């Protein structure tokens, strides 16, 4: 199994994780780090990523590998192909869909198309790309449990929100890398963040361009 620093280095080289620069986030906060969530799966190194996730989960002997739409389910399918090849040829895969009809306050993920019957009574691994607040993972876990499946582990490429097993209500959470992203307010950034060190705001990622236009 490769180390966390190996994957941090890999994600850095791919431009999927940046550290030590100056970003403006969607809600106006500032910080040094950025996770380009939609980039991970677009590189051929995605094969290495799914293999890394597979090594994290095989000991748990899941019977079904699941993941929430969009990248969670795509990575879950990658992990699944690796898992049936190397560990358990009888395992099954199923995607978890966004429930576009969900009303306010209702979980926004759902198992349909008969997958609800497939997972009943089974041990499930849930794959995610990036854990931010853990919201979609928690709602996916809920959807699985509603159908009688048991989530035994959640595995992600990157945990950037210190998301814990307790928070998701599952027995275990693993990730290839943990990024402890500190989000500062603009004022805090001017006092002690990259603003205070005159590091230019990145305009290629996040909301730096809009931020500079209005200041």
Residue 29 vs 67, nearer CB to Zn ion = 29
Residue 189 in contact with Zn ion, rule: CB under 5 A: yes
Residue 61 vs 197, nearer CB to Zn ion = 197
Q: What is the DSSP letter of 200?
A: P
Segment 46-51 long-range contacts (CB within 8 Å, at least 24 positions apart): 46/75, 46/78, 47/78, 48/10, 49/7, 49/75, 49/78, 49/157, 49/176, 50/75, 50/78, 50/79, 50/81, 50/82, 51/82
For residue 4, the number of C-alpha atoms closer than 13 Å in the C-beta half-sphere is: 8
By CB under 5 A, the residues from 190 to 209 that bind Zn ion are: 193, 195
Separation between Cα atoms, residue 186 and residue 193, nearest integer Å? 9
Assign residue 3 a region (left: φ > 0; alpha: ψ between -120 and 50; beta: otherwise): beta
How many residues bind Zn ion (CB under 5 A)? The answer is 4
- Residue 36 CB, shortest distance to Zn ion, in Å, is 19
Residue 2 vs 209, nearer CB to Zn ion = 209
Residue 134 vs 193, nearer CB to Zn ion = 193
Separation between Cα atoms, residue 65 and residue 118, nearest integer Å? 11
By CB under 5 A, the residues from 15 to 44 that bind Zn ion are: 30
**Contact letters (x/-) for Zn ion, 137-176, by CB under 5 A?**
----------------------------------------
- Residue 185 CB, shortest distance to Zn ion, in Å, is 9
- Residue 13 CB, shortest distance to Zn ion, in Å, is 25
Residue 47 vs 187, nearer CB to Zn ion = 187
Q: What residue ranges bind Zn ion (CB under 5 A)?
A: 30, 189, 193, 195
């Amino acid at each position: 199994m490769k180390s966390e620093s190996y994957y941090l280095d890999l994600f850095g080289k791919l431009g999927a994780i940046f550290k030590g620069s100056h970003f403006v986030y969607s809600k106006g906060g500032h910080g040094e780090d950025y996770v380009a969530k939609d980039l991970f799966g677009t590189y051929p190194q995605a094969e290495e990523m799914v293999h890394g996730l597979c090594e994290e989960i095989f000991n748990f002997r899941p019977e079904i590998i699941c993941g929430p739409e969009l990248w969670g389910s795509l990575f879950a399918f990658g992990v699944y192909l690796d898992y049936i090849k190397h560990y358990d040829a009888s395992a099954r895969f199923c995607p978890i869909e966004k429930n576009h009809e969900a009303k306010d306050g209702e979980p926004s993920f759902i198992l349909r198309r008969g997958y609800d019957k497939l997972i009943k009574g089974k041990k499930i691994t849930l794959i995610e790309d990036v854990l931010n607040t853990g919201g979609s993972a928690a709602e996916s876990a809920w959807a699985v449990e509603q159908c009688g499946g048991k989530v035994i582990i959640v595995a992600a490429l990157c945990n950037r929100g210190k998301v814990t097993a307790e928070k998701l209500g599952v027995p275990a959470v693993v990730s290839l890398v943990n990024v402890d992203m500190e989000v500062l307010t603009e004022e805090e950034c001017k006092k002690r963040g990259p603003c205070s060190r005159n590091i230019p705001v990145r305009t290629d990622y996040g909301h730096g361009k809009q931020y500079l236009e209005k200041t």
